[in-house]
Amino acid sequence: MSEQTDTSWQPSASDFAPKPKHQTADVITRPAMSYWQDAWRRLKENKRALFSLYLIFGLITFTLAGPHLWTIDPSAQDLDQIGMAPGADRNVTIAPAYQPWYGPTSDVIYADDNPLGLVLVGDATSQAVRLAWQETGLGAGQTNYGYKIYRTLFALNVGDAFGLPLMETQNHYFEDRLDLQPTDYYYTVVALDKQGVETDQSTTIQISVKRVITMLEAQKRGLTQNKTVAEGDQIKLALHPFGTDYLGRDMLARLIYGGQVSLFIGIFAPLLYVLLGVIYGSIAGFLGGAVDQLMMRFADFAVALPFLLFMILLKVIFGIGPGESGVLPMLVAMVILLWPAPARLVRGQILQIREEGYINASKLLGASTNYLVLRHMIPNTMGVILVTITFQVPSAIFTEAFLSFIGMGVAPPTPSWGSMCNDGIKSMLTRPHELFFPALFISITVLAFNLLGDGLRDALDARMRNRE
């Protein structure tokens, strides 16, 4: 108050004189900051939340811009590359078209190093593997009553099971066309006795299968790249950076389109039902009284419906029409079942705010209802609503995945991350990439929304705002 530092202070009359009027009081200011500016500033300080936000933008960009950058049709089937892991060998040789085979010609030379003379006829290609053998090595008067052909991927030791039974035949030849991959196979031919029981006479040979494609196919799929190629030339099959699924469809394309479905449901469903809840809740909260009671009783009814049970039930009731993806019914079902919780939340908030001093003050100052709603009610509940939406996104994504798991998700051929996970689980042991990628995308998304939700909650929390 006084700047005198003199220790030998003596009061004088002037000390008791009133202060001059219009003297400005000390002003402590900081830059005026709106609620949202402040929230944004806090969010920016939270590295994890900010990173999550960027990640979410990245994922949305991935799914929206992806189709323009990676123009592969997600439902196009590359039956030559089924269940290929990323980075698998793509070399393929051009071969003539498949011709049916009715057994070996007379000039076939049977092998002499095994009892059946089992021999590979022609080239072993992914079109077909052709085997021929003859009835040798039998004692006088013996005949074989048929043969059984097995195939396996692993070298056989004595006593091992022969692998996959492919065929039982009376013929002395066999053509294998079942799912041939460019790898080594071990074929076993076992002679059968009169009762059709396997005898101990068997022969195993190892065969390396070469991947081939017909000229027509190669041109149709644009693999020749307008170069002139001839039969026997080696070209490369289409590139699938994330591998392919069980039907040879491009995983990357499916992840992009699947992301559209999963993120659409994940983001729009909570947006819609929270919005519905907000409208419902604020009407109830604002009107109060008997209307409020009635509306909230109804919300109580709706909230009591067991969620997953009714989710399944509603999915069945709505059904999925022919050619539809089934995204919309899922969305509607979620909105029908999940609006009451945000409605209750918002109503509670409104009731609380209505009692706040500043509302009464505004009212006394003659603020209109519109002003109260727009200036006070909505901004003050907005934070809670935003946080709720963010936290609801993961559960919506999980719900979609769950429905896919029990076979009530989106309809094929529409992909979604959930349905891709469910497909991938079946081949988890042999082709892990089919599970890994969709699961990874779900995890990243869920994680990002959770962390963003945390950040938003911290940033928007009014209590925290006052606690500098």
Q: Which residues bind other proteins (CB under 8 A)?
A: 75-77, 79, 82, 152-154, 160-161, 163-166, 177-179, 246-247, 297, 300-301, 304-310, 312-314, 316-317, 319-323, 394, 398, 401-402, 405-408, 411-413, 418, 421-423, 425-431, 435, 439, 442-444, 446-447, 450
Q: Between residues 198 and 233, which has the closer beta carbon with respect to other proteins?
A: 198
Q: Name which of 11 and 323 has its Cβ closer to other proteins.
A: 323
Task: Encode the chain in three state secondary structure.
Answer: CCCCCCCCCCCCHHHHCCCCCCCCCCCCCCCCCCHHHHHHHHHHHCHHHHHHHHHHHHHHHHHHHHHHHCCCCCCCCCCCCCCCCCCCCCEEEEECCCCCCCCCCCCCCCCCCCCCCCEEECCCECCCEEEECCCCCCCCCCCCCCEEEEEECCCCCCCCCCCEEEEEECCCEEEECCCCCCCEEEEEEEEECCCCCEEEEEEEEEEECECEEEHHHHHHCCCCCCCCCCCCCEEECCCCCCCECCCCCEHHHHHHHHHHHHHHHHHHHHHHHHHHHHHHHHHHHHHCHHHHHHHHHHHHHHHCCCHHHHHHHHHHHHCCCCCCCCHHHHHHHHHHHHCHHHHHHHHHHHHHHHCCHHHHHHHHCCCCHHHHHHHHHHHHHHHHHHHHHHHHHHHHHHHHHHHHHCCCCCCCCCCCHHHHHHHHHHCCCCCCHHHHHHHHHHHHHHHHHHHHHHHHHHHHCHHHHHCC
Query: Which residue lies nearer to other proteins by CB, 260 or 416?
Result: 416
CB of 402 to other proteins, least distance (A): 7
Question: CB of residue 72 vs other proteins: minimum separation in angstroms?
Answer: 14
How many angstroms separate the CA atoms of 433 and 427, rounded? 9
* Minimum CB distance to other proteins, residue 452 (Å): 13
**Which of residues 84 and 377 has its CB atom nearest to other proteins in the complex?**
84
- Closest approach, Cβ 168 to other proteins, in A, equals 10
Considering only CA atoms, which of 193, 360, 331, 226 is closest in space to residue 270?
Answer: 331
- Between 287 and 309, whose beta carbon lies closer to other proteins? 309
**Mode of pairing for the β-strands spanning 212-214 and 91-95:** parallel
Rounded to the nearest whole angstrom, what is the least distance from the CB of residue 251 to other proteins in the complex?
A: 15
CB of 387 to other proteins, least distance (A): 14
Q: How far is the CB of 406 from other proteins (least distance, A)?
A: 5
Closer residue to other proteins (CB): 380 or 434: 434
Q: In terms of CB distance, is 44 or 426 closer to other proteins?
A: 426
Closest to other proteins by CB, 120 or 336: 336
Nearer to other proteins, 160 or 231 (CB): 160
**CB of residue 215 to other proteins, shortest distance in Å:** 15
**In whole angstroms, how close is the CB of 322 to other proteins at the nearest point?**
4
Q: Which is nearer to other proteins, 117 or 340 (CB)?
A: 340
The distance of Cα 214 from the centroid of its chain, to the nearest Å, equals 35
Cβ at position 309, least distance to other proteins in Å: 5
Nearer to other proteins (CB atom), residue 145 or residue 307: 307
Interstrand relation of 91-95 and 234-236 (parallel, antiparallel or unpaired) = antiparallel
Q: How near is the Cβ of 109 to other proteins at its closest, in Å?
A: 28
- Residue closest to 236 by CA, chosen among 85, 91, 88: 91
- Buried-state track 68-82, b at ≥16 Cβ within 10 A, e below 16: eebebebeebbebbb
CB of 287 to other proteins, least distance (A): 21
First to last CA, the chain: 28
CA distances (Å), origin 160, targets 122, 150, 152, 205: 28, 12, 11, 15
Nearer to other proteins, 219 or 450 (CB): 450
